[in-house]
Amino acid sequence: DPEFRFFLSLIFIIFVASYIINMISNDSSSIGLRDLMFHTVSTVTTTGFTTSTTADWPLSISFLLLIGAFIGACSGSVGGGVKSWRVMIMLNHAYSNIMKIIHPSSVVTLKIGARSVDDNVATSVWGFFSIYVISFVVLLLAILISGLDLESAFSAVGACLNNLGPGLGVVSENYGDINSFSKGTLAFAMLLGR
């Protein structure tokens, strides 16, 4: 299945990038290979399980894992995020449009594996993605207005909108220390993410 191969490739790329960042990091607290692999799979699939605290990890690794959660799981799963098949459609649609610009008289069809994807489906996916990004930005602004720092606000909105759970900064362990307005906004983000 092309989607499953894409998803496994994504997990592998994020894991390797995290491992390289961990190796070149000047931080004295090295992350174990097993912990890094577990957290990569758990975060990218939006499962949200943790085996150790990630607050001591380099911020770049935590941020990379959070970005992976935005893509989320495969279609048909209960994982959050945009979903792998939508990302594949957007990437292939962008590629076919670039090819049409380079070669205007060529006939380029949008395919995922052996299956053709209708242009209306690609347009719908781009529409969904636009709504997703707009929702994220509005929710992020609401959380920033409530007084949370950018790192915590970005990760909290991302974690709640993708139904991930753990975030970064103030919300790395739990959401108990944030104010009621932020909690209500993030609860709405969780409903919106579903």
Q: Look up residue 192 and give its DSSP letter.
A: H
Tell me the whole-structure pTM to 2 decimals.
0.86
Element (H, E) at 100: helix 84-102
Q: Tell me, what's the pLDDT at 87?
A: 93
Q: How far apart are the first and last CA of the chain?
A: 25
Rounded to 10 deg, the angle between the 59-71 and 150-161 helix axes is 30
pLDDT at 28 exceeding the cut of 70:
no
Report the distance separating Cα 115 and Cα 147, nearest Å: 48
pLDDT tens column, 133-165: 999 999 999 999 999 999 999 999 999 998 887
Distances (CA, A) of 167 to 8, 20, 51, 53: 23, 22, 14, 11
pLDDT tens column, 81-140: 899 999 999 999 999 989 999 999 988 888 888 888 888 999 999 999 999 999 999 999
pLDDT at 29 exceeding the cut of 80:
no
Distances (CA, A) of 150 to 41, 51, 54, 90, 184: 25, 25, 18, 28, 18
